[in-house]
Chain A
């Protein structure tokens, strides 16, 4: 399927900018909503403020971290089908295992090379 509405949840403004630039570089025709808080994202999705068919999720965030967000949406009948891709600074094997268990579709460590991020997005947004 072709993703049209994607959501990025990341509290880091620099990473938001890098993500949006890389997304632009892929040339894919997607609309991207950016939120800096998982808690905010959860309430807005639940209320249906916007449509989303793919979520990119950071893990290390205040108030509600990525794992908690993941667990919450997997509890919701309507939301649990939305694929979630983890994009985190962490590369810890235990963390990878944990989010896979929670139902994440993919896990990527935020790459050090810009081209690598572009490649990741191209791969995910086929």
Chain B
């Protein structure tokens, strides 16, 4: 700037060329130009501008420089309203002025910039000892101010965050646990205002909590390790009334600038409503479970009693009726010759009693259908049918019937019940025949595919089933009664037409229930019937449901 000042054409300015300048100006200017600290000088009535190399960067890359030799008002029009009066005051009063971090936005780098300054304006005297200029030392503090402002903003945001947080926040300092920071949410939890708490030891405000919480807080402060508590009960007295609640708590060591633990920050969330709802729910569930267990016990007991009753009743009922039948026959033999009427009465007694006996034995068999999983074995249904064909050989021959079966699967089942199931179905097929038509009975099986499985909602889609069909060419039945025939004691025919107790198909249904399977029948009257059995391959598939 020294060279620039020397080479400048000063003749056009109000202060004239340098050889005519006063000694005081030269001296002051010498100080300015030789200083490494940013300096500026306004001189004369026009406040002609001088500045040094240190000040030069403050004018920016694209802006006022070179301002040398120009009038102050021309160089600083945008801030003249601010600095003009200041300069005039210094000029007229001779009193210096000083500003720290003052915002003085002006044009540089192609735009108006917010620039902060710390500066002083001092009077500069001429050779006569009169104030004839203003000597400016200044330093730009924009960066420092910016950093300070950011810090301030960040501090304010932190304060806002704490204040507006919905979780309770409190910072306790030192062994005394003096409240340094606390928000409204925390105050609300203990029924106090922030003013009640700030600057006071926490347990002087809520002494009732000291027993429950002091040890935890001391631990966190001394160990420097955070602690979490969920659904912790607490209570405080608010205006003499006890307030109870539950909190989720985080105790965090609160560190100072040097990293040492100075206290504890507590974050707490009120979970009273949730905990109470949960406790109530648990209580309801416990109560319901207890009720259910009781009901289940009662049900098991009455089931057992019912089974026991059916067994005892059937068993004991057999005795007298068997004797009636037997003694009737013995009487008949003893009587020797009888009249037709006597014989007729004796026949009626014999028929009624043997029918009663059959009925009782069937009821007994029905009541004894066991659901005990210990009896389950792997069993070849082909062998079951072999045995049934043997047992019924006489009847099959008498009826000139054809019984065919093949490709039957091995399944997990109670063997006796499989014999009862197929025994009942084959016996029925041999019983409900059409006059003059030789019975043709067949038993077949196939795996139930997954698509077909979906059409039986009572079956479990995770298990494999065999679909067995027992078909005949007998009298069939009206499909209207397709469900009814499986109910106990339901008969579609008079006793004179077809003998039977109405228990056989009910047994079949119960056996399938015991094995998690299903049975149903399709038919057209006079055109035979098909009994469909959906039998699980394995009972272990139902391990979680204790039926068989």
List residues of chain A with CB under 8 Å of any chain B CB: 12, 14-15, 18, 21, 89-93, 110-115, 117
Which of A90, A92, A112 touches B326 (beta carbons < 8 Å)? A112
Q: What residue in chain A is nearest B361 (Cβ atoms)?
A: A91
In the bound complex, do residue A114 and residue B315 qualify as a contact, i.e. CB atoms below 8 Å apart? no
A114 contacts across to B, CB distance below 8 A = 325-326, 329-330, 333
- Pairs across A and B, CB under 8 Å, 12 listed: A14-B327, A18-B326, A18-B330, A89-B315, A89-B322, A90-B315, A92-B364, A92-B368, A112-B354, A112-B357, A114-B329, A114-B333
User: For the complex, what is the distance from the CA of A12 to the CA of B323, rounded to whole Å?
Assistant: 11
Which of B318, B326, B361 touches A117 (beta carbons < 8 Å)? B326
- Could you mark each residue 352-376 of chain B with 1 if its beta carbon is under 8 Å from any beta carbon of chain A, else 0? 0110010001001100100000000
How far is the CB of B245 from the nearest CB of chain A, in Å?
Answer: 63
In the bound complex, do residue B364 and residue A18 qualify as a contact, i.e. CB atoms below 8 Å apart? no
How far is the CB of B322 from the nearest CB of chain A, in Å?
Answer: 5
In the bound complex, do residue A113 and residue B325 qualify as a contact, i.e. CB atoms below 8 Å apart? yes
Residues 321-355 of B at the A interface (beta carbon under 8 Å): 321-323, 325-327, 329-330, 333, 353-354
Q: B81 an interface residue at 8 Å Cβ cutoff?
A: no
In the bound complex, do residue B319 and residue A89 qualify as a contact, i.e. CB atoms below 8 Å apart? yes
In the bound complex, do residue B323 and residue A113 qualify as a contact, i.e. CB atoms below 8 Å apart? no
Count B interface residues, CB 8 Å: 20
- Could you mark each residue 143-160 of chain B with 1 if its beta carbon is under 8 Å from any beta carbon of chain A, else 0? 000000000000000000
A89 contacts across to B, CB distance below 8 A = 315, 318-319, 322
How far is the CB of B367 from the nearest CB of chain A, in Å?
Answer: 10
User: For the complex, what is the distance from the CA of A22 to the CA of B416, rounded to whole Å?
Assistant: 32
In the bound complex, do residue B315 and residue A112 qualify as a contact, i.e. CB atoms below 8 Å apart? no
Residue from B322, B357, B365 with most neighbouring chain A CB atoms (10 Å): B322
In the bound complex, do residue B357 and residue A91 qualify as a contact, i.e. CB atoms below 8 Å apart? no
Label chain B's interface by main secondary structure.
Answer: helix
A110 contacts across to B, CB distance below 8 A = 322
B357 contacts across to A, CB distance below 8 A = 112
Contacts A18-B323, A112-B322 known; list 20 others, CB within 8 Å.
A18-B326, A18-B330, A21-B330, A89-B315, A89-B318, A89-B322, A91-B361, A91-B364, A91-B365, A92-B368, A112-B325, A112-B326, A112-B353, A112-B357, A113-B325, A113-B326, A113-B354, A114-B330, A114-B333, A115-B329
A92 contacts across to B, CB distance below 8 A = 364, 368
Q: What residue in chain A is nearest B318 (Cβ atoms)?
A: A89
In the bound complex, do residue B318 and residue A113 qualify as a contact, i.e. CB atoms below 8 Å apart? no
In the bound complex, do residue B333 and residue A93 qualify as a contact, i.e. CB atoms below 8 Å apart? no
User: For the complex, what is the distance from the CA of A117 to the CA of B330, rounded to whole Å?
Assistant: 12
- Could you mark each residue 287-329 of chain B with 1 if its beta carbon is under 8 Å from any beta carbon of chain A, else 0? 0000000000000000000000000000100110111011101
B365 contacts across to A, CB distance below 8 A = 91
How far is the CB of A87 from the nearest CB of chain B, in Å?
Answer: 12
A92-B368, A112-B357 as given contacts; A14 in contact with B330, CB under 8 Å: no
User: For the complex, what is the distance from the CA of A12 to the CA of B321, rounded to whole Å?
Assistant: 14
How far is the CB of B504 from the nearest CB of chain A, in Å?
Answer: 16
User: For the complex, what is the distance from the CA of A117 to the CA of B326, rounded to whole Å?
Assistant: 9
Q: What residue in chain B is nearest A15 (Cβ atoms)?
A: B323
A117 contacts across to B, CB distance below 8 A = 326
Residues 392-442 of B at the A interface (beta carbon under 8 Å): 416
User: For the complex, what is the distance from the CA of A21 to the CA of B326, rounded to whole Å?
Assistant: 11
B319 contacts across to A, CB distance below 8 A = 12, 89
User: For the complex, what is the distance from the CA of A89 to the CA of B326, rounded to whole Å?
Assistant: 13
How far is the CB of B233 from the nearest CB of chain A, in Å?
Answer: 58
A111 contacts across to B, CB distance below 8 A = 322, 326
User: For the complex, what is the distance from the CA of A46 to the CA of B361, rounded to whole Å?
Assistant: 37
User: For the complex, what is the distance from the CA of A90 to the CA of B327, rounded to whole Å?
Assistant: 20
How far is the CB of B287 from the nearest CB of chain A, in Å?
Answer: 40
In the bound complex, do residue B368 and residue A113 qualify as a contact, i.e. CB atoms below 8 Å apart? no
B368 contacts across to A, CB distance below 8 A = 92
B364 contacts across to A, CB distance below 8 A = 91-92
